[in-house]
Every structure is written in C-alpha cells, then in structure tokens.
Structure 1
Amino acid sequence: MAAASTPAVANAPITQQSGKVPFDYSKPPTIEGFTPVTRRKDETFKEKLLRKTKENPFVPIGCLATAGALAYGLRAFHQGKTRQSQLLMRGRIFAQGFTVVAIIFGVFATALKPKQ
C-alpha cells in the first residue's frame, strides 16, 4: 500500500483554496433567496387561547357542546333515563361532527387568508 504523501492534521480548520474558512460557526448560515421572519413574542397559554378563539369561535363552542352533552348524557344514564341518555349521546355525536367541520373550515379559512 502506498502511504499518504501529506500527514492529516485533525485540528486544522478546513480551508478552501482562497484561504478562507467555508463556514463561520459564530453566525447563522446565509441562504440565497431566504429572508427569515422575526419571531413573535412568546405567548402565554391564555393569550394563545384567546387569539385562537377569536380566529375561529365555533371550535370552542363545539367542544363545550360536546362536553356538556356527554356529561348530561352520562348523568341521565346513571339515573336510569335511557331514552334521554340515548338522545344526548346522539346530540354528542352531532356536536363532535360540528366541531370537526369547524376545525376544517378554520384550516381552509386560515390557508386562504392573505399573509400580512
């Protein structure tokens, strides 16, 4: 086997023929055609919940209707009111469907909304 003509140095920086280091690790990389957007300030859970509720108010309404129908239906089932329990469980399914449709509508509305 032939031996390497120049010894490899492990800690030497990789240089191009011009003598410059190809990447400066102290700065983020620059990508042609890409401009980074500024990051929003960190939101608290309450602020994010209020913002999302204002964007699509039907989702929280559907969630509350689903939870209410479930709780009232389980209470009616526990009391032995089978007819009322069945009606409330059907209402829960309707409320869940309403919530799913509201989520899908909100996704499409957000996608079609022009960027600022």
Structure 2
Amino acid sequence: MADKDRQSSEMEKPEFTELDWITLKQDINSATLAGQGPSESKFVKKFKENPFVPIGCGLTAAALCFGLYSFTQGKNRLSQKMMRMRIAAQGFTIAALMIGIVKASMS
C-alpha cells in the first residue's frame, strides 16, 4: 500500500514549475541572441555569411509567382519558361547551401 501512495505522489509532482519554464525561456533567448550586435538581426547576419541563399530563394519565389500569373493569363509558353527558370533557381539555391556548408565546415 505504501508503494502505491509513493507512486501516486511522484506522478502528481510536476517535472517543472512555472518559474523553471520562465528561466528556461530566458536562457534560450539569451543563447540565441549571443554573438549578435544590438542592431544586427539574425537574417542580416546569415545574409552576410552566405548572400547567395536568400538571393536564390527570392529568384525561386519570383519565377514561381510570375509563372503562375502567366499561366492564369493564358500565356503558356512564358509560363513554361518561368517554371524552368524556377527549377534552375532552386538548383542555384541548393548549390549555394552546399557550398556554404562546406565553407563553414572547413573554417
């Protein structure tokens, strides 16, 4: 009987208190912001490290949007060209990611 009382009291006890969660969240936020200047955002920092990835993402999105717009206007040839450009932009983005990973691993 004593084992059941002990097990039930252990199960009712929360693993973390509310204050522990607040402290954990503050620790995570401070670790995330460490190494960044006060005015420098994470996007700007990553863009400076490897500018070709966001450029490739932007080109991919632009080609997709313009290709879909051309398709709705009935311009099938232009739409097809834009979809091919989208694939090329995606390939460029993947190549930029891989080069960035290799560059980061070497330094």
TM-score bin (small chain): 0.5 to 0.7
TM-score normalised per structure 1: 0.59
3-state DSSP of counterpart to 2:34: coil
1:61 & 1:42 partners in 2: Cα distance?
A: 24
3-state DSSP of counterpart to 1:97: helix
1:65 & 1:42 partners in 2: Cα distance?
A: 30
1:41 & 1:109 partners in 2: Cα distance?
A: 22
1:111 & 1:101 partners in 2: Cα distance?
A: 15
Give the structure with the higher percent helix: 2
Q: Give the equivalent residue in structure 1 for 2:77.
A: 83
Q: Does 1:93 align with 2:87?
A: yes
TM-score normalised per structure 2: 0.64
**Residue-by-residue CA offset, 1:10-53 (whole Å, 9 max, x unaligned):** xxxxxxxxxxxxxxxxxxxxxxxxxxxxx562769x71111110
Q: After TM superposition, where is structure 1 displaced by more than 4 Å over at least 4 residues in a row?
A: none
2:34 & 2:48 partners in 1: Cα distance?
A: 19
Q: Does 1:54 align with 2:48?
A: yes
Number of aligned residue pairs: give it.
Answer: 74
RCO higher in structure (CA 8 A, sep ≥6): 2
1:101 & 1:65 partners in 2: Cα distance?
A: 14
Percent identical residues: 49
Question: Structure 2: where are the runs of 5+ without partners?
Answer: 1-30
Q: Give the equivalent residue in structure 2 for 1:104.
A: 98
Q: Which has the larger radius of gyration?
A: 1
3-state DSSP of counterpart to 1:65: helix
1:100 & 1:78 partners in 2: Cα distance?
A: 28
Question: Structure 1: where are the runs of 5+ without partners?
Answer: 1-38
